[in-house]
A and B are shown apart, each in its own frame.
Chain A
């Protein structure tokens, strides 16, 4: 595939910006950080202009870079403290149900949130997630099982 042109960048932004933003949001739980990461990822795409074989390759590249950037951001002590101590971002009007989901998600770790985002929202299969995250599919399966169990417990507690 030839190098990307202006049109390709516009298309990439149109198709994948929301996905990148949500993934970053799922990891950081913060709209401002999600925007920062989103900007970093797309600027990196335009600067490096990687040579993709297929459109799926570009999507996989964007996911990997988003996760890496989010992890880097999380690694800084200040961010870690803010993200872990504070609740997920609450910038919009939220229903009672949304609030419950947000609080349940805040109980999960950032990596767990990325997992459910990729699996349930983006519709990636376990094998595909394993490939993107460079892990074995059994590891991803057991992680997802753990996340399910945790979420079930959280919702049970909240209902009680």
Chain B
């Protein structure tokens, strides 16, 4: 081992290398030192600024009046107008169709957010799950906003929603205080069925009040999609939620009086489908990926049962037909809307009713 030590003693870095290394080290250290110095000055300046702002804030008379006196705060909240407690000021979330994504099994709801009728109350949609965060959109009393995704979990009492920002023309995600319990209120009755205007003209309003602002004018016998009933008023949209597939042409939504509407029963609506495409097929699920049951062209008479919008924004009709082999039981499946033609039975009925009304 002595020989090893002697051998390794001869191994040493050259002087030139060490000089170069020293220069590089010192230069690198100086560079870092400059950065550290700047960081130090920035920190000191920021701390000094904070202290200064604090001093200015505390010595302001306002501060003493508003914050330092708890009595003032208490009396201020007591003198608040209690309109908000009388009128429903929380927006209602109204969901229509529940679409299941077969891949992940998650339910996607889509519907509308309707702000309360109190014109003075604003409903902000926040960027974060906190009341103090940046406001993405503010709904005024009676305003409606289309909602595409609702997260069931609430954070700080706020519900996460993916909504259509009409003003800026894009989808956004935000947090809003939603009173979804109102849907279960005994005064509120879910409808989700078609109807039409019983008179020559009418309007949809932002609120359940004759003096509420008008959303849109309705033409004679115009088809409406009736969402819910609250007292003597019906919340209606100009198209079914399930047919909302063009974000640039959103239907109007608003309130109309019950007596102005003819309500149709969706379940009794015997609509028939005609296959218009040679390649039409009936699928087990409304996504075109799960197993094919039978080509629609061989399915005989398809009966329209319901319709749904899948997560890709496609409209699928839920259909039934007699089992080809047994001809006894009805088989249910889904067919894409572009491959069939749906008879507009209830529109015909509407026309008849309108004629009768006239």
Q: Which of A10, A21, A117 contacts B12 (CB 8 A)?
A: A21
Q: A21-B13, A47-B28, A47-B32 in contact; A13/B8 too (CB < 8 A)? A: no
Q: Which of A36-44, A75-83, A132-140 contacts B (4 or more CB under 8 A)?
A: A36-44
Q: CB-CB contacts of A34-60 with B at 8 A, as 1s and 0s?
A: 110011001101110100000000000
User: Assuming A101-B3, A101-B7, A121-B4, is B13 touching A46 (CB within 8 A)?
Assistant: no
CB < 8 Å A-B pair total = 76
**Which chain A residues border B25 with CB–CB below 8 Å?**
9, 13, 42-43, 45-46
The reply to whether A121 and B17 contact each other, CB–CB distance below 8 Å, is: no
Asked if A69 is an interface residue, CB under 8 A from chain B, the answer is no
Contact pick for B22, options A13, A34, A35, A101, CB 8 Å: A13
A27 to chain B: closest CB distance in Å? 12
> Per a CB cutoff under 8 Å, which of B5, B11, B29 touches A25?
B11
Q: Cβ of A13 and Cβ of B21 under 8 Å apart? A: yes
* Bound form: Cα–Cα A38–B32 in Å: 20
Tell yes or no: B104 within 8 A of A by CB. no
Q: Check A22–B21 contact: CB distance below 8 A.
A: no
Which of these, B7, B21, B26, B28, contacts A17 with CB under 8 Å? Answer: B21
CB distance from B196 to the nearest CB of A (A): 76
B interface size (C-beta, 8 A): 21
Q: Which of A17, A39, A92 lies in contact with B24, CB distance below 8 A?
A: A39
List B contacts of A92 (CB < 8 A). 10
B29 CB contact (under 8 Å) in A22, A35, A38, A49: A49
Are B12 and A46 touching (Cβ within 8 A)? Answer: no
B18 interfacial by beta-carbon distance below 8 Å: yes
At the interface, is chain A mostly helix, strand, loop or mixed?
helix
Nearest opposing residue in chain A for B25, CB measure: A46
Q: How far is the CB of A120 from chain B (nearest CB, A)?
A: 5
A157 and B21 CA atoms in complex are apart in Å by 41
Q: Is B1 an interface residue (CB 8 A)?
A: yes
Report how far A45 CA is from B28 CA in the complex, Å: 10
Question: A109 on the interface (CB 8 Å rule)?
Answer: no
Q: Per-residue CB proximity of A85-125 to B under 8 Å, as 1/0?
A: 00000001000011001100100000000001100110000
Chain A residues with CB below 8 A from B13, complex form: 17-18, 21, 34-35, 38
Instruction: Give a binary string over A139-156; 1 marks a CB under 8 Å from any B CB, 0 the rest.
Output: 000000000000000000
Q: Is the CB of B32 within 8 A of A10?
A: no
CB-CB under 8 A from B21, the residues of chain A are 13, 17, 38-39, 42-43
Assess the B1–A98 pair: CB atoms within 8 A. Answer: no
* Residues A9 and B10 in contact in the complex (CB < 8 Å), given A39-B21, A42-B21, A121-B4: no
CA distance A4 to B29 in the complex (A): 9
A46 to chain B, nearest CB (A): 4
Contacting pair A98 B10 (CB below 8 A): yes
| A-contacting residues, B23-42, CB 8 Å | 24-26, 28-30, 32
- Which residues of A sit under 8 angstroms from B18, Cβ to Cβ? 13, 17
A22 touches B8 (CB 8 A): yes
Tell me which residues across on chain B come within 8 A of A31, comparing CB atoms. Answer: 11
In angstroms, Cα B20 to Cα A42, docked, is 12
Which residues from chain B contact A17 at a C-beta distance below 8 Å?
13, 18, 21
- Seed contacts A42-B24, A120-B1; 6 additional CB < 8 Å A-B pairs: A9-B29, A10-B26, A35-B17, A43-B28, A49-B29, A105-B4
**Chain B interface residues toward A at CB < 8 A:** 1, 3-5, 7-8, 10-13, 17-18, 21-22, 24-26, 28-30, 32
Interface residues, chain A, with chain B CB atoms under 8 Å away: 4, 6, 9-10, 13, 17-18, 21-22, 25-26, 31, 34-35, 38-39, 42-43, 45-47, 49, 92, 97-98, 101-102, 105, 116-117, 120-121
Q: List 28 A-B contacts (CB under 8 A).
A: A6-B29, A9-B22, A10-B22, A13-B21, A18-B13, A22-B11, A22-B12, A25-B11, A26-B8, A34-B13, A35-B13, A35-B17, A38-B17, A39-B21, A43-B25, A46-B26, A46-B32, A47-B28, A49-B29, A101-B4, A101-B7, A102-B7, A105-B4, A116-B4, A120-B1, A120-B4, A121-B4, A121-B5
**List of 9 A-B pairs having minimum Cβ-Cβ separation, nearest first:** A46-B29, A46-B25, A21-B13, A46-B28, A101-B7, A120-B1, A18-B12, A9-B25, A121-B8
